[in-house]
Amino acid sequence: GVAGAGIQGGAGSALALDPSTDVFSGDGSASSFTLAASVVAAMVFYNGQLLPGADYTITGTSLALGFTPASGESIIVRAFKA
Helices (H) and strands (E) in the chain, counts: 0, 7
- Counting residues of the chain whose pLDDT is more than 90, the rounded percentage is 70
Provide the whole-model pTM: 0.77
Type of residue found at 25: S
CA separation for the pair 19, 39 (Å, rounded): 9
Looking at residue 82, what is its pLDDT? 72
CA separation for the pair 6, 45 (Å, rounded): 25
Compute, in degrees rounded to 10, the torsion defined by CA atoms 53, 57, 63, 69.
Answer: -60
